[in-house]
């Protein structure tokens, strides 16, 4: 009997230790699966090779709707990133960007840092334009995703997301790191557009780290499974002992 009590204590400890991270992981998986099943997301910009990429032009026409990105100089330079230093490129300009549809402004301007790197979009990590098809309604909307904050702490980051429907109607909303759980689709858009800098989770970032054998394989999956099985075995054996 004593060995089954020991097994029960160890198993319960492992299961309780693993339960919360397992809950966080499965919640992230389920939400992401629901979003991916309902929506089809794609970059609207197509490069010279025919691939959909992060926007790298200041004017694009989508279904007879012209979207212009107007860059207003601020006279400021962005800090050099590690990638800038590796490529030996000068610091990019900091500009206020204005969005216009058919010449009409649709949002208040806000700052982004332009990139001078020899590869990738000059708007990379700051701005992208996406198409989002909702399979539930059959409608496709255009989404402009813009990061509003610089490269400081993740907890302080904010984004602006502008939605344009088929009729040219515009809706703007802001998403912060702290309120991201209220906007699961927007989290997916921020990650897809690479404006997150570091991938976001819907409620937690537990799934965003680089996986290893220790996490999440050994902990919490193996420890959780061992804890559950061990607890069941201990209960069955102890119950059998009490009934004899």
Give the rounded distance of the alpha carbon of 164 from its chain centre: 21
192-223 confidence digits (pLDDT tens): 999 998 889 999 999 988 788 889 999 999 99
Instruction: Evaluate whether 196 touches 184 at the Cβ level (below 8 Å).
Output: no
124-183 confidence digits (pLDDT tens): 999 999 999 999 999 999 999 999 998 667 788 999 999 999 888 999 999 999 999 999
Is omega for the bond preceding 216 within 30 degrees of 0, making it cis? yes
Question: Which pLDDT score, from 0 to 100, does residue 72 have?
Answer: 97
Mean pLDDT (the chain, rounded): 91
């Amino acid at each position: 009997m004593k060995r089954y009590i020991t097994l029960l204590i160890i198993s319960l400890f492992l299961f309780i230790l693993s339960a919360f991270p397992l809950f966080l992981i499965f919640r992230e998986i389920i939400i992401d699966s629901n979003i991916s099943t309902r929506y089809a997301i794609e970059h609207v910009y197509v490069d010279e090779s025919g691939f959909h990429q992060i926007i790298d032009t200041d004017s694009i026409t989508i279904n007879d709707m012209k979207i212009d990105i107007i860059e207003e100089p601020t006279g400021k330079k962005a800090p050099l990133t590690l990638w800038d230093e590796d490529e030996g490129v000068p610091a990019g300009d900091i500009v206020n960007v204005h969005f216009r549809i058919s010449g009409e402004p649709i949002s208040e301007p806000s700052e982004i840092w332009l990139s001078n790197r020899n590869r990738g979009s000059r708007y990379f990590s700051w701005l992208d334009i996406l198409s989002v098809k909702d399979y539930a309604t059959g409608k496709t909307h255009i989404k402009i995703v813009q990061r509003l904050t610089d490269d400081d702490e993740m907890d302080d980051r904010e984004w602006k997301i502008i939605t344009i429907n088929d009729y040219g109607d515009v809706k703007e909303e802001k998403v912060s790191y702290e309120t991201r759980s209220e906007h699961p689709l927007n989290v997916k858009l921020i990650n897809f557009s690479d404006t997150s800098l570091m991938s976001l989770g819907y409620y937690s970032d537990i799934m965003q780290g680089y996986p290893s054998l220790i996490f999440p394989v050994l902990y919490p999956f193996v420890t959780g499974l061992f804890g559950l099985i061990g607890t069941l075995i201990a209960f069955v054996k102890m119950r059998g002992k009490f009934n004899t």
